[in-house]
Amino acid sequence: MTKIKRSSVASTLSLTPLIDVVFLLLIFFLVTSEFEEEERRLDIVLPSATSAVPMTSKPREVVVDIDRDGNLYLSGQPTDLPELQRLLQIAVANNPTNQTVVIRADYETSFQPVVTVMDICNKTGVSDYSVTTKEGPDG
């Protein structure tokens, strides 16, 4: 009978550091990922447009929601115009070159709140803002 010789390397190989690295990577990606649905939890019916594209979240993107009554929400929290302007000034100060704002307005709201938010974007130095729509039946 011949004995099968075990490799000494296999018996001394420890998987603990490898598992630690995997857990650290998992924690890193969970902490650094953005949870986009948090900002989209309000029940807002978007207006239709034939050339609408799916909304993709950009880094450092600010989402402003406007409900059918013209009330403003920033990250799902109710806000008013002075507070929105203050928060956008802080966002521009932290990201002066490419701060973006997405305006999501209910299709039943008047256009004035949307124009007011656009005006605040211009005043605070946000040049990259857009109004979100959904694809209509014609497109």
pLDDT in tens, 59-102: 578 889 998 888 999 878 899 999 999 988 888 888 877 888 88
**Cα–Cα distance between 109 and 52 in angstroms, integer?**
19
Burial-class residue 71 by CB neighbours within 10 Å (0-12, 13-18, 19+). Answer: middle
Average pLDDT over residues 100-113: 87
pLDDT class for 57, splitting at 50, 70, 90? very low
What per-residue confidence (pLDDT) applies to 46?
72
pLDDT at 108: 86
Q: Let me know if domain 36-135 sits in CATH 3.90.230.10.
A: no
Q: What is the average pLDDT across 11-19?
A: 78
What percent of the chain stands above pLDDT 90?
10
Q: What angle do CA 108, 65, 85 make, to 5 degrees?
A: 125
Structure confidence at residue 91 (pLDDT): 86
Domain segments of the chain as ranges: 36-135
Q: Are 98 and 59 in contact (CB under 8 A)?
A: no
| More confident call, 81 vs 107 | 81
Does the pLDDT at position 120 exceed 50?
A: yes
The Cα–Cα gap between 134 and 139 comes to: 10
- Cα 9 to Cα 29: distance, rounded to the nearest angstrom: 33
Span 36-63, mean pLDDT?
64
Average pLDDT over residues 2-9: 63
